[in-house]
């Protein structure tokens, strides 16, 4: 069986790190900046970076409608950090002109865990991934405040912020062929989440 072709949206953010991780787990990984490149992939990763910048560049590169159509047709997509924000149906604390792909029925709060200086690392158990918790890196990370009935919560982390109204926050979700995490697995060397996504892609390719 040929390796699935997985693109990484290469407009801004941790593109190289995702390409390296995907290649390491057996996918054919390639950057995506044009519609023709998007048309050739079996799956897509939206990397961490700056969500408002990615949103603007998606429009500049005329990729919004093509990505919307591929998602509606069942394309497996994984979004990490800013990518999670781009996949959300609703974004809190975003800019008024910020637009995502409205793929996952969830409400995400942008920069919820704090600013760059508040970045942290924590173990996160992920449903469907064996081998113990992932070592998760959170950088200006969002969290998920609400999910729809069709969304599966895969992972949570303790909320230690001073104003915390709850003990845990949702940081990993899946809805059908769409996967999203608040954290950056591409920065840790732990390839299990990328391997999980490759299996998702292979299941529908």
CB 105 within 8 A of CB 89: yes
Among the listed residues 50, 90, 125, 186, the single catalytic one is 186
Kindly report each contact of residues 85-91 with a partner whose C-beta sits within 8 Å and lies 24 or more positions away, as own/partner: 85/51, 85/110, 85/142, 86/46, 86/51, 86/54, 86/55, 86/58, 87/46, 87/178, 87/180, 88/144, 88/180, 89/148, 90/146, 91/51
81, 121, 135, 152: which one is catalytic?
81
Exactly one of 17, 18, 184, 194 is catalytic; which is it? 184
Clarify whether 186 is annotated catalytic: yes
CA trace torsion 169, 13, 89, 100 (10° rounding):
160
Q: In the annotation, is 184 catalytic?
A: yes
Which DSSP string do the residues of 138-170 spell out, in sequence order? ESS--EEEEE-TTPEEEEEEE---TT-SSSEEE
Specify whether 81 is catalytic: yes
| Helix (H/G/I), strand (E/B), else coil: 40 | coil
Q: Specify the residue for token string 């700056």.
A: 50
Residues assigned a catalytic role: 81, 184, 186
């Amino acid at each position: 069986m040929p390796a699935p072709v997985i693109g990484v949206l290469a407009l801004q953010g941790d593109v190289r790190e995702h390409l390296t991780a995907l290649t390491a787990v057996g996918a054919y990984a390639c950057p995506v900046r044009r519609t023709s490149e998007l048309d050739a992939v079996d799956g897509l990763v939206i990397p961490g970076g700056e969500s408002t910048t990615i949103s603007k560049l998606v429009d500049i590169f005329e990729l919004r409608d093509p990505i919307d159509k591929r998602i509606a047709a069942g394309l497996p997509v994984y979004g990490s950090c800013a990518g999670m924000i781009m996949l959300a149906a609703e974004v809190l604390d975003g800019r008024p002109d910020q637009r995502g792909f409205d793929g996952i029925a969830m409400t995400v709060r942008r920069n919820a865990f704090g600013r760059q200086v508040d970045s942290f690392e924590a173990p996160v158990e992920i449903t469907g991934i064996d081998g113990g918790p992932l070592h998760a890196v959170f950088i200006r990370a969002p969290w998920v405040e609400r999910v729809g009935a069709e969304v599966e919560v895969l992972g949570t982390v303790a909320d230690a912020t001073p104003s915390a109204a709850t003990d845990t926050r949702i940081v990993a979700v899946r809805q059908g062929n769409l996967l999203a995490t608040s954290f950056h697995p591409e920065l840790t060397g732990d390839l299990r989440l990328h391997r999980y996504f490759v299996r998702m892609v292979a299941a529908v390719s």
